[in-house]
Chain A
Amino acid sequence: MQLTQQQINYCMECGVCTGSCPVSYEWESFSPRQMIRRSLDQETPLNLTREVWACLTCARCSERCPVGIDFPEFIRSYRKEARDRDNPPRESHHGILQTLTRLQTTGVQQNRTSWAEETGSFRNQGDFFYFVGCQPYFQILFRYLDLDALDPAKGALKLLNHLGINPVISNAECCCGHDALWTGDEDLFRQLAERNLETIRDSGAHTVLFSCPEGYLTFKEQYPRYFGELPFRVRHLTEFLDQEIPSAGLEFRPSSQEVLTYHDPCRLGRQGGIYEAPRRLINLPTQGRLQEMDRNRANAMCCGTTAWIECSSCSKGVQLERLNEAVETGAQRLITACPKCRLHLTCAQENTGLQLPVEDIYSYLARHLEG
């Protein structure tokens, strides 16, 4: 969905985008403003540059753009062409995540539910479908980070069970297609989405809950674009819990005197518009000891890399800046609501002096459940 020429022409060349861009801070020649200009230039088409892959699509620029240019969408539209013109992205982790995604379109037998059997109760049919996302794969791939990448899902399931909900968790679920879409592979996105829609339809669910902001945003915004109105509600778990917990009477043990800070995931905050629900949830056990980083909510910084491509020294720079900002709040723990943010911000601490535990909001809440 390329922006119309008219929209691009709106650009007033004010430079607020480049000034907001976390990549530009690290990579001096990277400039969204120039990229908009260059899109008009036939000599060196944007889709043949490395820059087209370097954008984090974090929307920090478009949030402030005076004429509302959706820069992430602008970049996405060029990525498909870049692929077609033999300028593919550099896949991080030797492309294993992309390979796993492609495999999921083949109906390969997955093991997506054994963690849930050990954690709580779930079912095959029901009103609520819990869309787990890629965490079962992450658990294997990121063992070297010394963490259990399934912590968010485990926490989410425990919380749902405490609310009396035994959600559907399906072995047939596949990748939501977020990364395929944002790296210009629409065919792959479609195949994945079609499989997911079928799986959810078969479950009979009226509401699909997401702990992952990427899955949430993809279902909420992109699926309807490609497939029309969805026959179920799409809700992010922070919103859902924020609404359900007070009436369900769930109690949380006050946490220790630890000070926390919260990192807004781009897809949940700026792009999903959910800022306050996670904060209210964290404060249930924290009781007001949540310290905000200088840049929070719509002004928050990205976790430095997306879609498992182009991870680099630039990503690391973005991440370290964010982590140092967290440390400066005096926080002893960083909470986030995105499993990928957690992995990236943990990985970035390797071989630095930093030792800031990064925990996701669901396992944090589940740890403090009373009873």
Chain B
Amino acid sequence: MHTLADVNSVQGEAGDFQVTLNKRPRYVDPDKCIACGTCAEKCPAKMVDEFNEGLSKRKAIYVPYAQAVPLKYAIDADHCIYFKKGKCRACEKYCPTEAIDFGDTEREVTLNAGAVILAAGFQTFDPSSLDLYQYDQSPNVVTGMEFERLLSANGPYQGHLIRPSDHEEPKKIAWLQCVGSRDINRCQRPYCSAVCCMYAVKEAVVAKEHTPGLDTAIFYMDIRTYGKDFEKYYDRAREEEGVRFVRSRIHSVLEDPETRNLHLSYFTENGELQTEEFDMVVLSVGMETTPEFQRLSQDLGVELDTEQLVSTRDFTPVQTSRPGVFVCGALQEPKDIPTSVMEASAAACGAEVELSRARGTQAQSKVFPQERDVSSEPPRIGVFVCNCGVNIGGIVDVPQVAEYVRNLPHVAYVQENLFSCSQDTQDQMKQIIMEKGLNRVVVAACTPRTHEALFQETLLDAGLNKYLFEMANIRNQCSWVHSKEKDRATDKAKDLVQMAVTRARNLQPLPQPTVPVDNRALVIGGGAAGMTAALGLAEQGFYTYLLEKQDRLGGNAGFLTSTRQGEAIPQRVEAMSQQVQSHGMIEVLTQAEISEASGFVGNFQTRVSHGGQERDLEHGVIIISVGASEHTPQEYEYGQSDRVLTHLELDRAFAESDTRVTQARSVTFVQCVGSREPDRPYCSKVCCTHSIKAALRFKEMNPETQVYVLYRDIRTYGQREDLYHEARRKGVVFIRFDLENKPTVEQSEGKLDVRVRDHILQRELILESDLVVLASAIARPSEEPLAQMYKLPVNEDNFFMEAHAKLRPVEFATDGIFLAGLAHYPKPIEESIAQAQAAASRAATVLCREQYTVEGLVSRVDEALCRGCGECEQACPYNAIAVEEVEPGQYRARVRAAMCKGCGACAVACPTGAASVYNFEEQTILNMMQAALN
């Protein structure tokens, strides 16, 4: 990892780049720094904290925020007193590990790389130039990013929501959408920033949680909550949380010079002028690439588009104009976290393909000594109580805690450490474990989340099984939260350590078996996503089975005409299909149906019927890309008139030059058919863009054709907004309707009369149409045999559910199973392709291993107690426990250790106590509670 680094140049070509970096000095040796924070505490220089958007101060030696990686301090030389005036060096004096190095200098580093991924991120639009919003003048006008910091517990006011001018709690807050987005008049930002609607709704909801009774209003043009589960959040904010949504773009903000309150005036949809006074105004600022990146892109030879975003093509969504250089995140187009994370893996996939031959050549592995068998020894517990500098020692009486622990049963050794995590202490702990013959180790310090692995490694170094370790968190859960009650903090620390010692007594060494990994892959579904995933794996050298239910590859993509950027889909899909079918590492099975599935990560078995034969496939991973289908409308005369078409039907009619299309002189598009309604509350995401593209096509064929789009919110997010501009420019008429006032379609004398109430004119319009096109929803069947077979979760809308909406968007909670395309959520083809590449990349992380190490801390079942009731199976999120027939009529739950994460859900669900997690047995927990209460 190279931090504080600037890229000077990227020479060479794909497969062999030389990247020159300029590394600025940190002035802190990262190998020695343990991030105790003493230096920042003692540093006298204060300056503006950029992380908190300038709303608070930080020191000249600092980490930007608590989650920074690496968690190592750095000196900001521009503000350091020593660098400015030649004396101070307080940090150096107080640093317990001698990590400060004032002699550190700037260095040039050259790296050899086969591929380059650009992930330079974005900055938010600076609204200073839009003087009507008073951002520079009024402290109570803040940007969305600043408001995030105001809400945050580690923000300038510790999460207490107060306004900057007078530190009073605001009672009324307004959000103004599209500041620095969808504006070609005042700021040349034509694109939609894609994330601001959602972040504004979230900020409003969170603000209401902070301050009960808070009035929140969001002023918007279109609400664009098009992402997975976003519409539900919007509905909840509006209907349950009481966030007000006002469809009006605010022209100016006026500050009351005395109260510093802010006046907004706007016209309601009924045409009435309203003036409201707010305590704060939040500007929902958009995203843009940084000027630094724009300059760098020229040196890199990476093409940007007119909006200063990295150019990509829809079928190669993470490939820049320079071969071997990939892009992900908001550099390419404004986008949210899930899509950025998907693209990051997609870019990794691109790089993996380039580098597959070099895989593993740079990897090193560590060898540990033979584990000592402690099974016949009584517990000999070593306890290390950490001071964490003054973090713990300044509050908790550590010597007293150590003395207390010394008298507990089975405690053989107690030691206080200044910093338990420092390298020399680790070496010392290892020696003590061996010399004193310890067989259980307790460290009372900070959180296992960050430090457990480190101490477990020390145990391994000392020849102990790593599960013979327990941690007591006497910092985060004690000294930090009880800093004003030192005596009671000491008492609590004693209890916490006693609990840890009690658990340690019951700890057993656990094995971590390995299972071999079959490095073939199974991709289910041969649409655009499935083919992309198969190619992504095959190109990396992994043999891939591609299953398709139909007799041809292509899926829904086969029915579409062109992408957002105008690439012809049928030709590209055909080419992709050819490539897949002729690829030596891909075996395509069409008309395939899965009848049986079993196994776990690295070792799946799937029975497929294909061409009248049964085949048993063995493979290490599964990618689910089974797609979705167009909902069949039940309204608007669909099925009654052959002039009412869905999107897919329209694209086919275009392809066949159907006269209904070529001769249409008036066309009406109806949006949200079957989407954003009570039965199907989600937004189908692609339909606005698709309708507008089709509307433009009608206009291109004949500019005189009357084209109407009846919509609820136009959701041409990101750069799709350009299409919306173009459609408006070319005379497509957009008419908005509400769910309560949906348009109607009637047949009359060979024409279709579409009636809709125009919200601006406040009267009903009758649109005489030759053709009505319904933007029908993308839907998933309510029954999905794959979901049953692999035990994969689906959400309320029948879309498959990923492991984590933001951070793990292409994987299931069950190891070794991945997800891509419409089966996850409606999305345009470029996003399906990116997601499929991402799935391939994540799958490759499994396939590239020869073996898979099973977690030791897993569940187990006492068969005598098991009733085979299946409660555990239902509770398990990982498909890691299942009821099996052990003898005719006899059922027992069995754990598949390789899939188990040791979460304990089965143990809780089990009515008899048959299921439990190793080292977390019910009795162990009860003993710990007893220890706490004694």
Contacts and interface: CB of A to CB of B under 8 A. Distances in A.
Contact of A92 (B870, B890, B892, B913): B913
Contacts of A91: 913
Contacts of B867: 311-313, 315-316, 347-348
A356 interface: no
Nearest to A351: B870
Contact of B883 (A92, A312, A320, A351): A351
A356 B908 CA distance: 27
A24 B232 CA distance: 56
Contacts of B868: 313, 316, 351
Contacts of A352: 891
A312 B914 CA distance: 8
Interface in B897-928: 908, 911-914, 922
A347 B871 CA distance: 10
Contacts of B890: 313
Interface stretch (B85-93, B219-227, B605-613, B858-866): B858-866
Nearest to A92: B912
Given A313-B890, A316-B868, A316-B869, 9 more contacts: A90-B913, A93-B912, A94-B922, A312-B866, A312-B867, A312-B912, A314-B864, A316-B867, A350-B870
A314 B890 CA distance: 11
17 contacts: A92-B913, A93-B911, A94-B908, A94-B922, A312-B865, A312-B867, A312-B912, A313-B863, A313-B864, A313-B865, A313-B868, A313-B890, A316-B868, A316-B869, A347-B869, A348-B867, A351-B870
10 smallest beta-carbon distances between A and B, as pairs: A351-B870, A316-B867, A311-B912, A350-B869, A312-B865, A92-B912, A93-B911, A313-B866, A351-B883, A351-B869
Interface residues of B, number: 20
A352 B867 CA distance: 11
Contacts of A350: 869-871
B74 to A, nearest CB: 50
Interface residues of A, number: 18
B889 interface: yes
- Where chain B touches its partner, the secondary structure class is loop
B72 to A, nearest CB: 44
Contacts of A315: 867, 912
A146 B113 CA distance: 60
A314 B866 CA distance: 9
Interface string A130-158: 00000000000000100000000000000
A315 B863 CA distance: 13
A71 B95 CA distance: 75
Contacts of A348: 867, 869
A156 to B, nearest CB: 26
Nearest to A308: B911
Interface string A59-99: 00000000000000000000000000000001111100000
B325 to A, nearest CB: 54
Nearest to A315: B867
A351 B873 CA distance: 10
A130 B390 CA distance: 64
A90 B866 CA distance: 13
Interface of B: 863-871, 883, 889-892, 908, 911-914, 922
A320 B889 contact: yes
Contacts of B912: 90, 92-93, 311-312, 315
A114 B445 CA distance: 49
Contacts of B922: 94
Contacts of B870: 350-351
A311 B911 contact: yes
A291 to B, nearest CB: 23
Nearest to A349: B869
A311 B922 CA distance: 16
A293 B37 CA distance: 76
B885 to A, nearest CB: 10
A90 B590 CA distance: 54
Interface in A286-308: none
B881 to A, nearest CB: 13
A189 to B, nearest CB: 23
Nearest to A27: B864
Nearest to A352: B891
Given A90-B913, A91-B913, A311-B912, A351 B891 contact: yes
Interface in A320-363: 320, 347-348, 350-352
A313 B867 CA distance: 4
Chain B CB within 10 Å — which of A144, A312, A313, A351 has the most?
A: A313
Nearest to A319: B867
Nearest to A141: B911
Nearest to A324: B889
Contacts of A311: 865, 867, 911-912
Chain A CB within 10 Å — which of B864, B890, B908, B911 has the most?
A: B911
Contacts of B891: 351-352
A26 B865 CA distance: 12
B865 A90 contact: yes
Contact of A94 (B865, B866, B883, B913): B913
Nearest to A314: B864
Contacts of A94: 908, 913, 922
A258 B890 CA distance: 30
Contacts of B871: 144, 350
A347 B865 contact: no
Nearest to A316: B867
A24 to B, nearest CB: 15
Contacts of B865: 90, 311-313
A137 to B, nearest CB: 15
Nearest to A347: B869
A313 B913 contact: no
Nearest to B914: A312
A316 B890 CA distance: 9
A347 B865 CA distance: 15
A351 to B, nearest CB: 4
B911 A347 contact: yes
A179 to B, nearest CB: 16
Contacts of A347: 867, 869, 911
Contacts of A312: 864-867, 912, 914
Nearest to B862: A312
A340 to B, nearest CB: 13
B866 A92 contact: no
A49 to B, nearest CB: 15
Contacts of B863: 313
Nearest to B909: A144
Contacts of B866: 312-313
A92 B911 contact: yes
Contacts of B914: 312
A314 B864 CA distance: 7
B925 to A, nearest CB: 10
A56 to B, nearest CB: 15
B905 to A, nearest CB: 13
A319 to B, nearest CB: 8
A61 B38 CA distance: 75
Contacts of B908: 94
Given A90-B865, A347-B869, A313 B911 contact: no
Nearest to B913: A90
Nearest to B867: A316
Contacts of B913: 90-92, 94
B322 to A, nearest CB: 58
Contacts of A313: 863-868, 890, 892
Chain B CB within 10 Å — which of A92, A314, A351 has the most?
A: A351
A205 B658 CA distance: 87
A91 B911 CA distance: 9
B882 to A, nearest CB: 10
Contacts of A93: 911-912
A327 to B, nearest CB: 13
Chain A CB within 10 Å — which of B865, B867, B912, B913 has the most?
A: B867
A144 to B, nearest CB: 7
B869 to A, nearest CB: 4
A289 to B, nearest CB: 29
